[in-house]
């Protein structure tokens, strides 16, 4: 369905029954990131799957301020109000993970459980953020000047996604086709407005989160494993699971494991129930 949220047209998919689960895709993705999990997760959760601003079939406005991570989080808050949903479980991947964490910090009463796949709280220092903004600005200009196909060619080749080259060819082709369907202006503005260098650093806010948190990283994604380790130490109720034989995109590279871990975490009791062993990725 298409919903007007704060004057921006958002594409939103709804599926399933149960406690609401809001799903947020990564940069260059769209709602179809999560369609392989509909049959499983829709049995225990009411799935809410938007295309994030500038992606998929959601609109790509010119105003960079509309892409700021805090603005995108406010749009999600309005979306929940529109759907008359009070509280959610929240899962975000990469850029969607940064947005999910932002939402949980800004609207803590609305989040029951938070799942972050290969995500970060941003960069710690202003110098790091400035350098990243410069790089994101150059990449945004590249998208506009060279076009979406040239950008996708480049994006597929960055080290972060090197392990995805081991996936079956049909899966790689499907991901490429979806990336190519995006709007060049939307992706460029997302880098400028919602990039890691543009968002606030949430490191000092992590200790304020009272909800249960599950951090997921692939063992071949060393950068985000290090980030998750630091995040867990700052959080009150965080578990961390490292998935073997996976890089950044765990939901693609280890779909079945990811499916089971997410379902188990969402089904575990909040108080006095099962918990996750962050070292082994198993129940204790």
pLDDT on residue 240 = 98
- Domains in the chain, start-ordered, CATH in brackets? 2-122+203-283 (3.40.50.1820)
Phi and psi, residue 275, nearest 5°: -135, 170
pLDDT on residue 228 = 98
Phi and psi, residue 259, nearest 5°: -55, -50
pLDDT on residue 269 = 63
* Token digits of residue 157: 């080749």
- List Cβ<8 Å contacts ≥24 apart for 6-11: 6/74, 6/75, 6/78, 8/53, 8/58, 8/59, 8/61, 8/66, 8/75, 9/58, 9/59, 10/50, 10/51, 10/53, 10/58, 10/59, 10/75, 10/79, 11/50, 11/51, 11/56, 11/57, 11/58
pLDDT on residue 272 = 36
Between CA 216 and CA 100 the distance in angstroms is: 14
SS3 86: coil
In which residue ranges of the chain is pLDDT below 50? 270-284
pLDDT on residue 268 = 84
CA atoms within 13 Å, Cβ hemisphere of 266: 26
pLDDT on residue 282 = 34
Residue 78: count other Cβ atoms within 10 Å of its Cβ.
16
């Amino acid at each position: 369905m298409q919903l007007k949220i704060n004057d921006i047209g958002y594409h939103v998919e709804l599926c399933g029954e149960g406690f609401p689960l809001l799903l947020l895709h990564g940069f260059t993705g769209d709602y179809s990131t999560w369609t392989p999990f509909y049959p499983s997760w829709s049995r225990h959760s009411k799935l809410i799957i938007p295309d994030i601003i500038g992606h998929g079939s959601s609109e790509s406005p010119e105003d960079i301020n509309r892409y700021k991570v805090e603005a995108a989080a406010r749009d999600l808050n309005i979306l929940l109000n529109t759907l008359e949903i009070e509280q959610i479980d929240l899962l975000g991947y990469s850029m969607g993970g940064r947005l999910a964490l932002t939402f949980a910090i800004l609207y803590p009463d609305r989040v029951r459980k938070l799942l972050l796949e290969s995500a970060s709280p941003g960069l710690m220092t202003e110098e790091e953020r400035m350098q990243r903004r410069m790089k994101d600005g150059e990449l945004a200009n590249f998208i506009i000047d060279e076009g979406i196909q040239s950008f996708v060619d480049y994006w597929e080749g960055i080290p972060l996604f090197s392990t995805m080259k081991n996936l079956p060819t049909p899966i790689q082709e499907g991901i490429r086709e979806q990336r190519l369907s995006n709007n060049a202006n939307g992706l460029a503005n997302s880098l400028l407005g919602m990039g890691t260098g543009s968002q606030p650093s949430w490191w000092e806010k992590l200790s304020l989160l009272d909800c249960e948190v599950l951090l997921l990283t692939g063992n071949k994604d060393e950068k985000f494993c290090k980030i998750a380790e630091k995040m867990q130490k700052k959080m009150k109720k965080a578990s961390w699971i490292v998935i073997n034989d996976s890089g950044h995109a765990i939901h693609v590279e280890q779909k079945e494991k990811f499916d089971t871990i997410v379902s188990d975490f969402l089904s575990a009791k909040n108080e006095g129930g099962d918990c996750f062993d962050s070292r082994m990725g198993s129940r204790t």
